[in-house]
């Protein structure tokens, strides 16, 4: 590795960390293609390096969001119980399931979520201004005291919220984990809309909470790669430093963006992921 390669890795990682923090995703979808296409790394090295980068972006993003009071730790841990279980089931089912159909189902689900984000982007801002996220909650969210509040820097209001439909949320988190274990995709792209659309959690809290959850899941996978000697420290180091810088910057910017615009941008990201999943599914079908 020379200075030019390291510079390229650093720049792409800063971008991955920034996007990851802005949308509550891991950023692997940016790191892996950059490492393979532009730096000529093998896919195994790229994935092992990327997973360490995902842990780093999660830690950097989550710590900033915790400081801003955006991450809801109780909600993250509650949903992580089923997401981890789903990821384990997915990893075990990996061998026996028809992946092409699953990719197509996920593509359709992501597209549905994207449309829903577009449909509700004005409503989110209205609810932020009118205190519309403060509800009665349900038995689980009240029992675990999952409600919280944060200061929205874009609208300059304190937003109080109470998560609802906890049972549906934990069920959907299981499926997010399952898809992530089965298809090897990061869970953030599913976790954010699950919290925002199904559990009535504000978009920014969903992003901050997802960021914390990703680190929990990814660190377990990364420890396995690391203990088997698959992580090359010379490659992981510039990636980690880059994503930490990018995620810190992204987490500083996110709360200053209007929630509606954030939802629209996230919808575009969902459409892109949907396209990726559909092309993977189609290529598997043609290959089979």
Q: Any contact of residue 26 with another protein (CB under 8 A)?
A: no
**CA angle at 200 for the pair 211 and 214, rounded to the nearest 5°:** 15
Return the number of the residue (73 or 168) whose C-beta is nearest another protein: 73
Q: Any contact of residue 52 with another protein (CB under 8 A)?
A: yes
Q: Any contact of residue 223 with another protein (CB under 8 A)?
A: yes
Return the number of the residue (113 or 244) whose C-beta is nearest another protein: 244
Q: Any contact of residue 215 with another protein (CB under 8 A)?
A: yes
Region of 159 on the Ramachandran plot (φ > 0 left; ψ -120 to 50 alpha; else beta): beta
Q: Provide the minimum distance between the beta carbon of 248 and another protein in the complex, in angstroms, as a whole number.
A: 9
Q: Contact with another protein (CB under 8 A): which of 231, 252, 276, 278?
A: 231
Q: Contact with another protein (CB under 8 A): which of 8, 39, 85, 252?
A: 85
Buried b (16+ CB within 10 A) or exposed e, 122-160: eebbebbeeebbeeebbebbeeeebbbbbebbbeeeebe
Residue 47 has phi, psi (to 5 degrees) of -65, -45
Q: Provide the minimum distance between the beta carbon of 100 and another protein in the complex, in angstroms, as a whole number.
A: 24
> Measured between alpha carbons, how far is 173 from 178 in angstroms, rounded to an integer?
8
Return the number of the residue (201 or 244) whose C-beta is nearest another protein: 244
Stretch touching another protein by CB under 8 A, among 18-26, 139-147, 194-202, 267-275: 139-147
- The CA radius of gyration of the chain, in Å to the nearest whole number, is 18
**CA angle at 211 for the pair 121 and 153, rounded to the nearest 5°:** 50
Q: Contact with another protein (CB under 8 A): which of 16, 47, 62, 262?
A: 62
Q: Contact with another protein (CB under 8 A): which of 36, 39, 45, 74?
A: 74
> Measured between alpha carbons, how far is 74 from 124 in angstroms, rounded to an integer?
23
Q: Any contact of residue 222 with another protein (CB under 8 A)?
A: yes
Residues binding another protein (CB under 8 A): 3, 6, 52, 55-56, 58-60, 62-63, 66-67, 69, 71, 73-74, 77-78, 80-81, 84-85, 87-88, 91, 143-145, 212, 215-216, 218-224, 226-227, 231, 233-234, 236-238, 240-241, 244
């Amino acid at each position: 590795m020379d200075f030019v390669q390291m510079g390229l890795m650093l720049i792409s990682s800063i971008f991955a960390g920034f996007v990851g923090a802005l949308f509550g995703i891991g950023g692997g979808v940016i790191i892996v293609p950059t490492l393979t296409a532009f730096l000529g790394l093998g896919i195994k090295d790229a994935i092992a390096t990327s997973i360490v980068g995902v842990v780093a972006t999660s830690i950097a993003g989550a710590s900033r969001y915790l400081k801003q009071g955006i991450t809801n730790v109780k909600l993250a841990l509650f949903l992580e119980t089923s997401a981890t279980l789903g990821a384990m089931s997915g990893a075990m089912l990996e061998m026996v399931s028809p992946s092409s159909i699953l990719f197509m189902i996920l593509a359709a689900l992501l597209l549905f979520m994207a449309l829903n984000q577009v449909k509700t982007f004005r409503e989110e801002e209205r609810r932020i201004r009118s205190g519309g996220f403060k509800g009665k909650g349900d038995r689980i969210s009240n029992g675990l005291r999952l409600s919280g509040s944060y200061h929205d820097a874009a609208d300059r209001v304190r937003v109080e919220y109470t998560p609802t439909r906890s049972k549906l949320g934990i069920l959907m988190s299981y499926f997010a984990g399952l898809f992530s274990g089965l298809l090897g995709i990061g869970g953030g792209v599913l976790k954010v809309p699950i919290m925002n659309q199904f559990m009535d959690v504000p978009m920014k809290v969903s992003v901050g909470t997802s960021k914390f959850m990703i680190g929990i899941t990814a660190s377990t996978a990364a420890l396995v790669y690391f203990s088997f000697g698959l992580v090359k420290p010379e490659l992981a180091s510039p990636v980690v430093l880059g994503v930490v810088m990018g995620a810190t910057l992204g987490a500083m910017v996110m709360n200053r963006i209007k929630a509606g615009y954030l939802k629209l941008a996230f919808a575009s990201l969902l459409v892109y992921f949907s396209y990726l999943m559909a092309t993977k599914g189609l290529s598997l079908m043609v290959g089979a």
